[in-house]
Amino acid sequence: MSTDEQEIRYLPYEEAVKIVAAIQEEEDIERPNHRILTVYDHKDVELCWFDFDETMAAVGPVSKAEEKDAVSEYILRHLPDWVLDG
């Protein structure tokens, strides 16, 4: 089975909350004019990143006041289990 065919497994929310210290919106260094959401642990080590546009589409329409919490909640519920392999 290729990597593309493997199902992504997510960490339990409770575990993700303990691991993630920050989620930063950043410029994608490989694609100009493209934004990503980089996830960091408590040692300021990059765990993974999410495509900004895809994440916002998955979160759906929320008010600007609720946006940060909604995005954080989505990412914490979709943190791949392979981040523990690092």
31 is in which domain, residue-wise? 3-85
Q: Which pLDDT does position 76 carry in this prediction?
A: 98
Please give the backbone phi and psi of residue 37, each rounded to the nearest 5 degrees, phi first: -115, 110
CA–CA distances in Å: residue 5 to residues 11, 49, 50, 72, 85: 19, 20, 19, 27, 19
Q: Which pLDDT does position 5 carry in this prediction?
A: 55
Is the model's pLDDT at 4 over the cut of 70? Answer: no
Reported as a pLDDT band with limits 50, 70 and 90, residue 85 is: confident
Is the model's pLDDT at 3 over the cut of 60? Answer: no
Model's pTM, two decimal places? 0.87
Number of domains making up the chain: 1
pLDDT digits (tens, 9 = 90+) for 7-45: 889 999 999 999 999 999 999 888 889 999 999 999 999
